[in-house]
């Protein structure tokens, strides 16, 4: 379950990484700051340019007023006419009125009260149409002087500044995204390597470790911590395994002695008194040996280390062999047993054979006379499945989890060690697979569902 | 038969030696691998029964040394180390059979006697005979009292194994091992049901049974006695 969640988290890709998220936050903050400072820069620049223009216009008006005071009317007319011509070249617009008559003008500037104002759509004698003109009107003796300057320059400056800011913003955003992407990809890869290592460990390869970088970052520190725990886990598993092996040898030899002694006792008492007890003793010792053997086999698998065999195991063939073995026993009870299908996994064929044999033995023992037992290999959503189905009484839903535990026997009269399904589960887990018991509608459906990465297509 | 027994547990060694002697075999028993090797180099036992964990020289090395010295007597490992990989190691070292502890004496006896016979058979047989039943190993067919018997592949293998060991017990675990190549408890009466199918073809139509059940652990084939 946890692995599935991890896979989902990683599966959503690079954009889910903390580094990438960090970059996104950075971009948002940068854009905000850029926007606000852009507005401030623009306002300041516009203000400065306008102040400049205003000062120029005021100075020019002062000059015209001086000229009006110093010259006679004819001379002034000539001078302002000349001035209007010169101003036209310098992008200044001017109109001089005497009463309502235009004395000189280089643009269609209306008379206005003495003040600053903005006039739109001013046509000049050069044929230009000015969108926005800042106009200063003032009096010079009997004349009304209207001076104006095109504000297009301010707009151009504003556009230029905004353009530069936008370009800078674009470059910075692109760079941040790229950096975020690279960092995110790197942590994604690092996390992927940790995940791969944990995956191997969960499948029994206790020697697997997450790689650690020479120049460690946060993820590498986590990887190092994980590795420390894996070291300890490996040590504990090795101890447990050695203990199991030691128990194997230490108990098997006395058990062998006990069985030999019981056999001899049985032979010596013959049919005399105590024969029944001797037979019972021998039988119980046999049972003990069987249970013990089953526990050790399970302990061995649970403590198994190292990779699974690289050679593929053909589930179809495994099931065919198992069917061949149990088919006569099934027939003796009026049951039918057949194997079908194909699927290949990377796995231990010997263990899988024994697991399938346990499932078949269970079906033969518990499905009842006349049952149809099917062993099937196949694929489910790209995952190999080994299944044993019967149409017997099945297992009540409430008991399905419990029967996998050691020594649980639903039918005590049927004998058996109560370790058969525990063994199957251990084999499944050794392969990272899942043992599922479900309603066969009717009967029992027991399935080993292998992980996709072990399934060979 | 002359049997070499190398077992360091004195009680097991005593039981096995006495049991084999009772069946008429001569047993040389050793508790140390080195001593056993020294003994073997000038005595030639018919079968060796060897534990794996031994003082002096461990069982695997002992068997490798024997094979290196050109000794070809059949060897059976009798050991608590009976996991699949350990069995593979044993066979690789040159063993002919492998029996895990704990074991039944009758199982050991049956396997030792089957091994002992293997040594004598120099010329490969082409026809096996038990009473009026003939198994032609070349033609792959079985004929009893002039009637040909149709056999499935597994039934043929079972019958061949039983007939090769005619007069000697073949245990259920030997059959599982040799015919189906499995070494775990199958959990139900798989061998019994296969043998009863075979009996239905080989014995039932005829008046005298040839396949006999031995107590609760094996089968023996022989004609009327």
B115 with B135, same domain? no
Question: How distant is the Cα of B51 from the closest Cα of chain A, in angstroms?
Answer: 11
Which chain B residue has the Cα nearest residue A255? B102
**Which of A260, A263, A329 is nearest residue B190 as measured by Cβ atoms?**
A329
Asked if the C-beta of B197 comes within 8 angstroms of chain A's C-beta atoms, the answer is: yes
Are the Cβ atoms of B80 and A332 closer than 8 angstroms? no
Q: Do A249 and B103 touch (CB under 8 A)?
A: no
Which residue's structure tokens are 């070292």?
B93
Min Cα–Cα distance to chain B from A409, Å = 14
Rg for chain A (alpha carbons), in Å? 47
Q: How far is the alpha carbon of A205 from chain B, nearest alpha carbon, in Å?
A: 17
Q: Are residues B65 and B168 in the same domain?
A: no
DSSP helix/strand/coil, A380:
strand
Can you give the CATH number for the domain in which B176 is found?
A: 1.10.10.10
Q: What are the backbone dihedrals phi and psi of residue A108, each rounded to the nearest 5 degrees, phi first?
A: -85, 80
d(CA B195, CA B159): 9
pLDDT reported for residue A413: 64
Query: Does any CB of chain B come closer than 8 Å to the CB of residue A290?
Result: yes
State the residue range of the domain holding B85.
Answer: 2-120
Of A259, A328, A416, the CB nearest to B190: A328
Distance from CA of A256 to the nearest CA of B (A): 4
Helices (H) and strands (E) in chain A, counts: 9, 13
Q: Which of A13, A359, A368 is nearest to A192 (CA)?
A: A13
- Give the minimum alpha-carbon distance from B189 to chain A in angstroms, rounded to a whole number: 6
**Cα Rg of chain B (Å, integer):** 19
Residue where the block lists tokens 């009870």: A333
Does B189 contact A300 at a Cβ distance shorter than 8 Å? no
| Domain end position, chosen among B120, B155, B179 | B120
Residues A136 and A96: beta-carbon distance below 8 Å: no
CB of A265 less than 8 A from some CB of B: no
Best of A247, A254, A328, A368 to mutate (most B CBs within 10 Å, chain B)? A328
Q: B170 by DSSP, 3-state: which?
A: strand
Provide the shortest C-alpha distance from residue B122 to chain A (in Å). 33
**In degrees rounded to 5, what are phi and psi of residue B145?**
50, 45
pLDDT score recorded for residue A326? 95
Question: Does the CB of A259 have a partner CB in chain B at under 8 Å?
Answer: yes
Does the beta-carbon distance from B102 to A289 stay under 8 Å? yes
**B11 neighbourhood in chain A, CB within 8 Å:** 257, 260
Q: Within this chain, do residues B116 and B171 fall inside the same structural domain, yes or no?
A: no
A249, B53 Cβ separation under 8 angstroms: yes
CATH number of the domain that B41 lies in?
3.40.50.2300
**Residue A135's beta-bridge partner residues?**
A117, A148
Best of B19, B83, B187, B200 to mutate (most A CBs within 10 Å, chain A): B187
Q: Which of A256, A297, A332 sits opposite B102 (nearest CB)?
A: A256
Chain A hits for B192, CB-CB cut-off 8 Å, are: 329
The answer on B159 and B94 residing in a single domain is: no
pLDDT tens, residue order, chain A (457 aa): 444 444 444 445 566 667 778 778 888 888 888 889 888 988 888 888 888 888 888 888 888 888 888 888 888 888 888 888 888 777 788 888 887 888 888 888 887 777 788 887 888 877 778 888 888 888 888 888 888 888 877 788 888 888 888 898 899 889 888 888 888 888 788 888 888 888 888 776 777 888 777 777 777 888 888 888 888 888 887 777 667 666 766 788 889 999 999 988 988 888 888 888 998 999 899 888 888 888 888 888 877 767 777 788 999 999 999 999 999 999 999 999 999 999 999 999 999 999 999 999 999 999 999 999 999 999 999 999 999 999 988 888 888 888 888 888 877 666 677 888 999 999 999 898 999 999 888 899 999 999 988 888 6
Helix (H) or strand (E) segment spanning residue A43: helix A18-70
A329 in reach of chain B (CB within 8 A): yes
SS3 A71: coil
Chain B, nearest residue to A362 by Cα = B187
How far does B14 lie from chain A, in Å, by closest CA? Answer: 10
Q: Find tokens 């006495």 and name the residue.
A: B18
Query: What's the angle, vertex CA A286, arms to CA A280 and CA A289, rounded to 5?
Result: 145
Chain B closest CA to A217's CA: distance in Å? 43
Distance from CA of B27 to the nearest CA of A (A): 18
Would you state the structure tokens that stand for residue A37, as one six-digit string? 């400072």
Counting Cβ atoms within 10 Å, is residue B23 exposed (0-12), middle (13-18) or buried (19+)? Answer: middle
Is residue A43 within 8 Å of A165, Cβ to Cβ?
no
The whole-number pLDDT of residue A227 equals 87
Q: Burial of A345 by CB count in 10 Å (0-12 exposed, 13-18 middle, 19+ buried)?
A: buried
Contacts with A35 (C-beta within 8 Å, 6 or more apart), sequence order: none
pLDDT in tens, chain B (225 residues): 999 999 999 999 999 999 999 999 999 999 999 999 999 888 889 999 999 989 889 999 999 999 999 888 999 999 988 888 889 999 999 999 999 999 999 999 999 999 987 655 556 788 999 999 999 999 999 999 999 999 999 999 999 999 999 999 999 999 999 999 888 888 778 999 999 999 999 999 998 999 999 987 899 999 887
B107, B139: one domain: no
ipTM score over 0.85, yes or no: yes
Which phi and psi angles does B167 have, rounded to 5°? Answer: 90, -10
B194 shares its domain with B100: no
Neighbours of B174 (CB within 10 A): 22
- Residues from chain B that touch A361, judged by Cβ atoms under 8 A, are 186-188
Instruction: Tell me whether A358 touches chain B (CB under 8 Å).
Output: yes
Query: What is the distance between the alpha carbons of residues B26 and B29, in angstroms, rounded to a whole number?
Result: 10
Q: Which of B92, B120, B148 lies at the terminal end of a domain, its last residue? A: B120
C-alpha distances (whole Å) from A406 to each of A295, A403, A420 are 9, 8, 8
Same domain for B183 and B132, yes or no, is yes
User: What is the token pair recorded at B63?
Assistant: 């068997």
Contact B196 A361 (CB under 8 A): no
Q: Using the beta-carbon criterion (under 8 Å), do A252 and B187 form an inter-chain contact? A: no
CA dihedral B200, B206, B207, B210 (to 10 degrees): -60
The string of DSSP codes covering A184-247 is HHHHHHHHHHHHHHHHHHHTT-TT------SS--HHHHHHHHHHHHHHHHHHHHHHHHHHHHHH
Please enumerate in sequence order all residues whose Cβ is within 8 A of that of A361, keeping only pairs 6 or more positions apart, or say none: A326, A420, B186, B187, B188
Structure letter (DSSP) for residue A451: P
Same domain, B161 and B114: no
Rounded Cα distance, A284 and A294, in Å: 15
B14 in the same domain as B115: yes
A369 min Cα distance to partner chain B (Å): 15
Q: Kindly state whether residues B22 and B102 are assigned to the same domain.
A: yes
Q: Which of A256, A261, A358 sits opposite B187 (nearest CB)?
A: A358
- B140 and B217 in a common domain: yes
Q: Which of B185, B194, B196 to mutate to test the interface with A (most CBs of A within 10 A)?
A: B185
Tell if the CB–CB gap between B104 and A252 is shorter than 8 Å: no
For residues B28 and B43, the answer to whether their CB atoms sit within 8 Å is yes
For tokens 């007890």, the residue is A277
- CB contact A249 to B (< 8 Å): yes
Task: Decide which of B94, B120, B146 is a domain's last residue.
Answer: B120
- Please indicate if any CB of chain A lies within 8 Å of the CB of B154: yes
| Residue of B11, B81, B196 lying closest to A257 (CB–CB) | B11
Token readout for A311 is 């050679």
Same domain, B107 and B156: no
User: Closest partner residue to A329 among B16, B101, B193, by Cβ?
Assistant: B193
Q: Is B215 within 8 Å of chain A by CB?
A: no
Residues of B in contact with A331 (CB under 8 A): 193, 197
Question: Which DSSP state fits A14?
Answer: G
| CA-to-CA dists, residue A69 to A65, A143, A145, B38, angstroms | 6, 10, 13, 143
State whether residue B24 sits within 8 Å of chain A by CB.
Answer: no
Which of A261, A249, A306, A67 is closest to B53 using CA atoms? A249
In degrees and rounded to multiples of 5, residue B41 shows phi and psi of: -65, -25
- Which residue, B57, B44, B187, B53, is CA-closest to A291? B187
- Domain count within chain B: 2
* Contact residues, chain A, for B178 at CB < 8 Å: none
């Amino acid at each position: 379950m946890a692995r599935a969640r991890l896979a989902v988290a990683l599966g959503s890709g690079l954009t889910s990484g903390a580094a990438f998220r960090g970059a996104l936050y950075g971009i948002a903050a940068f854009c905000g700051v850029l926007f606000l400072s852009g507005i401030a820069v623009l306002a300041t620049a516009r203000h400065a340019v306008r102040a400049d223009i205003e000062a120029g216009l005021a100075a020019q008006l002062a000059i015209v007023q001086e000229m009006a005071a110093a010259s006679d009317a004819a001379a002034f007319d000539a001078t302002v006419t000349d001035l209007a011509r010169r101003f036209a070249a310098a992008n200044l617009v001017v109109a001089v009125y005497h009463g309502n008559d235009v004395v000189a003008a280089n643009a269609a500037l209306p008379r206005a009260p003495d003040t600053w104002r903005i006039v739109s759509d001013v046509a000049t004698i050069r044929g230009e149409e000015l969108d926005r003109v800042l106009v200063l009107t003032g009096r010079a003796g009997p004349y009304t002087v209207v001076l104006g300057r095109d504000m297009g320059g301010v707009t151009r400056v504003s556009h230029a500044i905004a353009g530069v800011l936008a370009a800078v913003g674009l470059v910075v955003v692109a760079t941040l995204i790229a950096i975020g992407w690279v960092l995110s990809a790197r942590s994604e890869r690092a996390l992927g390597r940790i995940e791969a290592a944990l995956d191997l460990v969960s499948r029994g390869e206790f020697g697997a470790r997450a790689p650690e970088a020479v120049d460690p970052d946060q993820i590498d520190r986590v990887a190092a911590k994980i590795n420390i725990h894996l070291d300890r886990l490996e040590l504990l598993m090795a101890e447990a395994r050695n203990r199991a092996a030691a128990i194997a040898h230490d108990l098997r030899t006395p058990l062998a002695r006990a069985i030999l002694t019981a056999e001899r006792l049985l032979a010596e008492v013959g049919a005399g008194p105590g024969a029944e007890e001797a037979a019972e003793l021998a039988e119980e010792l046999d049972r003990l040996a069987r249970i013990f053997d089953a526990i050790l086999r399970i302990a061995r698998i649970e403590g198994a280390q190292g990779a699974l065999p690289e050679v593929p195991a053909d589930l179809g063939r495994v099931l065919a062999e198992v069917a061949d073995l149990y088919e006569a026993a099934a027939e003796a009870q009026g049951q039918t047993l057949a194997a079908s299908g194909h699927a290949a996994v990377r796995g231990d064929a010997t263990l899988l054979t024994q697991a399938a044999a346990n499932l078949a033995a269970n079906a033969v023992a518990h499905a009842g006379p006349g049952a149809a037992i099917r062993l099937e290999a196949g694929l489910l959503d790209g995952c190999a499945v080994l299944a044993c189905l019967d149409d017997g009484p099945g297992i009540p839903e409430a008991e399905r989890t419990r029967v996998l535990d050691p020594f649980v026997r639903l039918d005590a009269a049927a004998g058996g060690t109560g370790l058969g399904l525990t063994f199957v589960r251990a084999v499944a887990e050794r392969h990272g697979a899942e043992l599922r018991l479900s309603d066969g509608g009717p009967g029992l459906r027991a399935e080993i569902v292998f992980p996709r990465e072990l399934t060979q297509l | 038969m002359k049997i070499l027994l190398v077992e360091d547990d004195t009680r097991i060694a005593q039981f096995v030696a006495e049991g084999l002697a009772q069946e008429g075999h001569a047993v040389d028993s050793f508790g140390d691998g080195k001593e056993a090797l020294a003994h073997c180099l000038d005595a030639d036992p018919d079968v060796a029964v060897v534990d794996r964990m031994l003082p002096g020289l461990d069982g695997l090395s002992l068997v490798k040394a024997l094979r290196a010295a050109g000794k070809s007597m059949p060897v059976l490992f009798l050991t608590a180390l009976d996991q699949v990989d350990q069995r593979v190691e044993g066979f690789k070292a040159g063993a002919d059979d492998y029996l895990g502890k704990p074991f039944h004496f009758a199982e050991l006896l049956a396997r030792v006697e089957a091994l002992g016979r293997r040594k004598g058979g120099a010329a490969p047989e082409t026809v096996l005979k038990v009473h009026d039943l003939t198994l032609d190993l070349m033609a792959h067919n079985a004929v009893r009292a002039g009637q040909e018997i149709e056999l499935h592949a597994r039934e043929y293998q079972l019958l061949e194994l039983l007939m090769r060991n005619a007069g000697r017990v073949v245990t259920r675990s030997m059959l599982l091992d040799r015919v189906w190549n499995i070494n775990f408890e199958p959990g139900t009466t798989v061998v019994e049901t296969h043998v009863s199918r075979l009996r239905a073809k080989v014995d039932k139509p005829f008046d005298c049974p040839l396949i006999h059940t031995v107590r609760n652990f094996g089968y023996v084939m022989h004609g009327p006695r």
